[in-house]
Amino acid sequence: MFGRGNDVRSSDVSSLAAIELEIDQAAPASSTAGTTQLSLPDAVWKVSRESPLSLRDRAAVAVAAEATQVLCETGLDGAGLAVTLAILQALKRNGIIDGFVVGDGQGDDGMGNAGKNRHRHGKTKKTIKALAGYRAGDVTENGFPSPTPHVWLELDGKVLDVVADGLALCEAARRAGIDYSDETAMANRFGKESLRAGGYRPSARPPLTVLNVSVPVGGTRTMTVPVRLTLADPPLSVPGAEQARATTEQYKSFLTDCSRCDETLEALVQQMPTQVKRVFDRVASVQLDVVGDEKTRNQRLGL
């Protein structure tokens, strides 16, 4: 069992209990009301409170919630590879997984259904899959989705993907008590220049995906567009396809090398820009308090 704020000391357990009660009583994480009432990190973590999950999956959601917290606080965009590797590293350091493998596309039909891949890894239940492919964006003038290189995780066919641009602005709106969908209120509160810099998209936002549960990130009136992940390379006729393919191949190479050798990951981290490295280190250093059930956890916290 893992809670939000695992570093809370015994003197703060009443506060922790109150926070968890508030999260449990909020609307489902898959509803727009849920992320209006809760922070995005808490909404991500709430998925583990709503569904029966294995210890590994609960741990993955807990680390993903911390990763969401960091992205909301820093406003860092375009660091999907670093954040994904950091989540994997945190799970490994906590003894939750032995390592990870890189997806090879088996089970993907090229139509954005990579999350339905049920390929198993023999008896290595502690091993999960990292995939490098594409997150389809706006449709181009040729009628094809624009290809955006993307990295995500898959746990026994369930997608875990909490990396998206513009999360800081979504979270800032929630904390200010402003509906993200209200363009006038957003402009009055943050200014038009900040909205442009923050990647403001009031008409449609892709959700986060937490073990196949869609967690909306916008306001109550913001349309949640389907997440379209695919391992199929875009046709070269699509604008930007050639560069997207090259970037995706680079992602695959990084993932493969890091899955085989810890030293390779360490070398990659050292090459990261300072802000990206700080985010990686913060997520990778998450410490989980591992207990078998709610009763044991409450006893440890003194509840």
Would the pLDDT of 146 be above 70? yes
Give per-residue pLDDT as tens, 150-183: 999 999 999 999 999 899 999 999 999 999 999 9
166 or 239: whose pLDDT is higher? Answer: 166
Residue 19 counted as domain residue: no
Residue 86 counted as domain residue: yes
**Average pLDDT value for residue range 289-302:** 58
Separation between Cα atoms, residue 85 and residue 151, nearest integer Å? 9
Residue 262 counted as domain residue: yes
At 295 the pLDDT is 59
Query: What is the percentage of the chain residues whose pLDDT exceeds 70?
Result: 80
**Mean per-residue pLDDT of the chain:** 83
Q: What total number of domains does the chain contain?
A: 1
Separation between Cα atoms, residue 287 and residue 222, nearest integer Å? 35
Q: How far is CA 252 from the centre of its chain?
A: 18
Lowest mean pLDDT among 3-12, 77-86, 145-154, 287-296: 3-12
Would the pLDDT of 274 be above 60? yes
Handedness of CA 245, 247, 251, 253 (dihedral sign): positive
Residue 217 counted as domain residue: yes
Residue 121 counted as domain residue: yes
At 226 the pLDDT is 81
Give per-residue pLDDT as tens, 117-133: 333 333 445 579 999 99
CA distances from 215 to 30, 38, 244 (A): 5, 11, 26
Would the pLDDT of 223 be above 70? yes
Would the pLDDT of 190 be above 60? yes
Residue 6 counted as domain residue: no
At 136 the pLDDT is 74
N- to C-terminal Cα separation, the chain: 15
Query: The domain containing residue 85 runs over which residues?
Result: 28-287
At 4 the pLDDT is 53
**Taking a C-beta distance cutoff of 8 angstroms, is the pair 128, 153 a contact?**
yes
**Average pLDDT value for residue range 273-279:** 96
**Average pLDDT value for residue range 246-254:** 96
Residue 10 counted as domain residue: no
Residue 96 counted as domain residue: yes
Give per-residue pLDDT as tens, 12-61: 555 667 778 888 889 999 998 887 889 999 999 999 999 889 999 999 99
Separation between Cα atoms, residue 243 and residue 47, nearest integer Å? 35
**Taking a C-beta distance cutoff of 8 angstroms, is the pair 72, 171 a contact?**
yes
